Amino acid sequence: MSKLLRLLFYLVIGFSFFSYLFYSEYGQLPTLADDLNLYGFTLITSLISGYLITLLNHQLNKQLPWRKNVFNRFLAGFFGDFLLLGTCLVTFGFLAQLTGLISYEIFSTDLMESQIELKLAILSFVTLFLVTLVDFNGYSYNHYSIGQIRQLRAERKQLELQFEALKSQLSPHYLFNSMNTISSLVYRDPVVAENFIRNLADSFNYVLHTKNVKLVNLEEELEALKDYRYLLTIRYSDAIDLSLEVDDQYLEVPIPPLTLQLLVENAVKHNVISKAKCLKINVTVTDRELIVWNNKTEAPSHTASHRVGLSNIRKRYAHFTNSEIQVVDGNNSFEVKLPMLAS
């Protein structure tokens, strides 16, 4: 609620209090002509009190936000508003009497009999309690709405990153190389060709199965990587060596899908692979991180890249942990350290 609306709200409350108290004393509503001084007093008191209460709550929202401690913020807001309003009423009432703007005789000659102060205190207590409750409901609604919007945005971003990884694995260049490999194997070794097709199908099935999945177990990721390793072995033979050294105790650790395959693919893309220049890739796990290491052979003259790789992995990991991915780019080796995610 804006400050202007809050002031208008307190102005309406002030005149409602005034009308009720006047009616309870005289059995009729006040008239502007006869009770102009009381209207003026109510107007000034309502605006100033409302403005001070608004400032108090604004300061409380900074010093004691709702999100940190709802109960303490509610009590501080309610009792702070009540005490501030009471102080304003006593102060302005005293000043109004000194200046002759109002007098107690307007309401009654016997204050104890009329009990105006008690009625005003009860009205203020109930009203400010409801006002603080409305503030809390407003905070709860905004907090929930903002939280939902952020969650939807994060999920959308995650799906976009998953789609980028999917495009990388289903790229025309990758399919073209795979089809060429199959073509060369069909007549030379039909059994190997069949196994290659099966592993290629399993690899694509994993890619499609995880396109909307945020996390998978490391065991699933490793099984998919084994299919990919077979494809690389058939294509490069002994020129590539991909070893997986992962203890069984880490198999249930969550990991964004296609992470390992992207890192292995990057190693293949950015190195010349031949019998004279063998590419070695090693995947290991510790209690704190998942490590993918590869040696450097020679940079190829042209590298087909979809600009996914590390950037895609960094962004996806950022949704699950504040720990950053570490990259060690040495003269003869390249190492990526992925933080372990909580199960």
In angstroms, the Cα distances linking 144 to 56, 139, 140, 147, 156 are 24, 8, 6, 5, 18
**Which residue would you say has higher pLDDT here, 135 or 339?**
339
Q: How far apart are CA 18 and CA 288, in angstroms?
A: 68
What pLDDT, in 10s, does the model give residues 168-193?
555 566 677 778 888 888 878 888 88
Residue 302: per-residue pLDDT: 67
Dihedral over alpha carbons 41, 42, 43, 47 (to 10 degrees): 110
What pLDDT, in 10s, does the model give residues 108-139?
444 444 567 677 778 788 888 887 887 777 77
Rounded mean pLDDT of 288-301? 89
Q: Which long-range contacts (CB under 8 A, 24 or more apart) does 110-117 make?
A: 114/25, 116/21, 116/25
Give alpha helix (H) positions in 189-272.
190-209, 218-236, 259-269
Residue 112: per-residue pLDDT: 42
For CA atoms 13, 18, 19, 25, give the dihedral sign: positive
**DSSP line for 101-120:** S--GGGT-S-HHHH-HHHHH
**pLDDT greater than 60 at residue 207:** yes
**Which residue would you say has higher pLDDT here, 233 or 3?**
233
Rounded mean pLDDT of 15-39? 79
What pLDDT, in 10s, does the model give residues 138-158?
777 677 667 666 766 766 666
Rounded mean pLDDT of 201-215? 83
Residue 169: per-residue pLDDT: 56
Domains and CATH numbers, the chain: 3-152 (no CATH), 170-339 (3.30.565)
Q: How far apart are CA 55 and CA 60, in angstroms?
A: 9
What pLDDT, in 10s, does the model give residues 60-74?
888 888 777 788 888
Q: What is the mean pLDDT of the chain?
A: 80
**CB-neighbour burial class of residue 174 (10 A; exposed 0-12, middle 13-18, buried 19+):** middle
In angstroms, the Cα distances linking 343 to 56, 215, 320, 340 are 44, 10, 11, 9
**pLDDT greater than 50 at residue 91:** yes
**CB-neighbour burial class of residue 343 (10 A; exposed 0-12, middle 13-18, buried 19+):** exposed
